[in-house]
C-alpha cells in the first residue's frame, strides 16, 4: 500500500460501518466450511478470517463503551477510509464471560488458570485488516498501539479446529502472546470446535520467526482433553 497510514484510538460510532465492512469481508460462517473448495480452504487458513457474525449495533456498542479500546488503521489523506481495526473489551461482563469459557479450557499451567480466574485482564475479541492490504504488517502495528494503551494482560482466542486461522496465530505469537491452553467448548454451530487460548503479558517481546513456527507446531499437535 502506497498511502500513509495512521493508527488512532476512537469512540466515534461513525467508524462502526467501516469496521463492520471489514468483518463481513473476512467473515467465515460455520456453513461455509461445507462448500469451500480445497484451494479456498487453504486461502482462508493462510490469509486469515474472522468468526462471529456481529451486527452494526454490536460494533457501535463496542465503540461507544469508554472502557473498551478500539484501535483503527486509516489512510492519513482519507481519514474515513479504515484499513484495519482492533477491538479490546474491558467490561466486567466480558471478563465474566471469558471466565466462563475458562471452565472449558485445558490450561498449560496453573499460573494461567489463576490469572484468568483471579486477576484483571482485557479481552482482544477481534483484529482485522482489509483484504486488499493483507501481509503488510498492519495487524502488528495495531497490536503495538494496543500494548501501549493497555496496562493489563490481554487474552485472545484463535480458532484451531475445524479450520486453522494460521496467519492470526502467527501474528499473535510473533507479537508476544503466549499459549495458555485450548478451549474445548462450543462456539456458534462449528463442528468439532476448538480454539487456542493466548495471553499477552505487559512487556513481552517480539519472537523470532523460528521460535514462532516451532510454537505453532507444538500448539497444533497438542490435543489434550479435559
C-alpha cell at 206: 517480539
pLDDT in tens, 106-119: 999 999 999 999 99
Q: What is the pLDDT of residue 134?
A: 86
**pLDDT tens digits, one per residue of 41-97:** 999 999 999 998 899 999 999 999 999 999 999 999 998 899 999 999 999 999 999
What confidence tier does 222 reach under pLDDT thresholds 50, 70, 90? confident
83 φ/ψ sector (left φ>0, alpha ψ -120 to 50, else beta): alpha
Rounded distance between C-alpha atoms, residue 2 and residue 31, angstroms = 36
pLDDT in tens, 163-195: 999 999 999 999 999 999 999 999 999 999 999
Q: Is the CA virtual torsion 77, 79, 82, 86 positive or negative?
A: positive
User: pLDDT class for 1, splitting at 50, 70, 90?
Assistant: low
Residue 158 is inside which H or E element, if any? strand 154-161
Give which of 202, 207, 145 is closest to 172, Cα–Cα.
207
CATH entry 3.40.630.30 includes domain 5-221: yes
Report the SS3 class of residue 4.
coil
Q: 48, 26 in Cβ contact below 8 A?
A: yes
**Does residue 171 sit in helix, strand or coil?**
helix
- pLDDT at position 223, please? 79
Cβ(21)–Cβ(127) below 8 Å? no
What pLDDT is stored for residue 167 in this prediction? 96
Instruction: Give pLDDT, residue 79.
Output: 85
Q: pLDDT band for position 226 (50/70/90)?
A: low
Continuous H helices in the chain:
16-26, 38-47, 56-64, 92-102, 110-118, 138-149, 166-174, 209-221
Task: Provide the pLDDT confidence category of residue 197 given band limits of 50, 70 and 90.
Answer: very high
Give the span between the Cα atoms of 179 and 156, in whole angstroms: 10
The pLDDT of residue 224 is 73
Look at residue 14 in the predicted model and tell me its pLDDT.
96
Kindly report the average pLDDT of the chain as a whole number.
95
Domain boundaries, the chain: 5-221
pTM listed for this prediction: 0.95
| Stretch 133-157: mean pLDDT | 95
Amino acid at each position: 500500500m502506497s498511502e500513509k497510514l495512521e493508527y488512532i484510538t476512537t469512540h466515534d460510532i461513525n467508524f462502526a460501518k467501516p469496521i463492520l465492512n471489514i468483518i463481513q469481508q473476512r467473515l467465515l460462517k460455520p456453513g461455509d466450511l461445507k462448500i469451500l473448495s480445497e484451494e479456498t480452504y487453504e486461502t482462508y487458513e493462510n490469509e486469515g478470517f474472522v468468526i462471529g457474525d456481529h451486527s452494526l449495533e454490536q460494533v457501535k456498542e463496542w465503540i461507544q463503551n469508554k472502557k473498551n479500546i478500539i484501535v483503527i488503521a486509516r489512510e492519513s489523506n482519507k481519514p474515513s477510509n479504515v484499513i484495519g481495526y482492533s477491538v479490546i473489551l474491558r467490561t466486567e461482563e466480558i471478563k465474566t464471560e471469558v471466565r466462563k469459557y475458562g471452565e472449558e479450557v485445558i490450561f498449560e499451567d496453573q499460573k494461567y488458570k489463576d490469572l484468568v480466574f483471579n486477576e484483571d485482564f482485557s479481552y482482544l475479541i477481534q483484529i482485522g485488516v482489509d483484504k486488499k492490504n493483507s501481509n503488510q504488517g498492519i495487524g502488528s502495528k495495531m497490536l503495538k498501539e494496543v500494548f501501549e494503551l493497555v496496562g493489563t494482560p490481554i487474552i485472545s482466542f484463535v480458532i484451531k479446529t475445524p479450520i486453522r486461522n494460521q496467519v492470526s496465530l502467527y501474528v499473535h505469537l510473533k507479537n508476544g502472546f503466549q499459549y495458555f491452553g485450548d478451549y474445548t467448548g462450543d462456539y456458534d454451530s462449528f463442528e468439532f470446535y476448538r480454539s487456542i487460548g493466548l495471553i499477552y503479558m505487559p512487556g513481552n517481546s517480539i519472537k523470532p520467526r523460528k521460535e514462532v513456527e516451532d510454537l505453532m507446531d507444538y500448539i497444533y499437535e497438542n490435543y489434550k482433553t479435559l
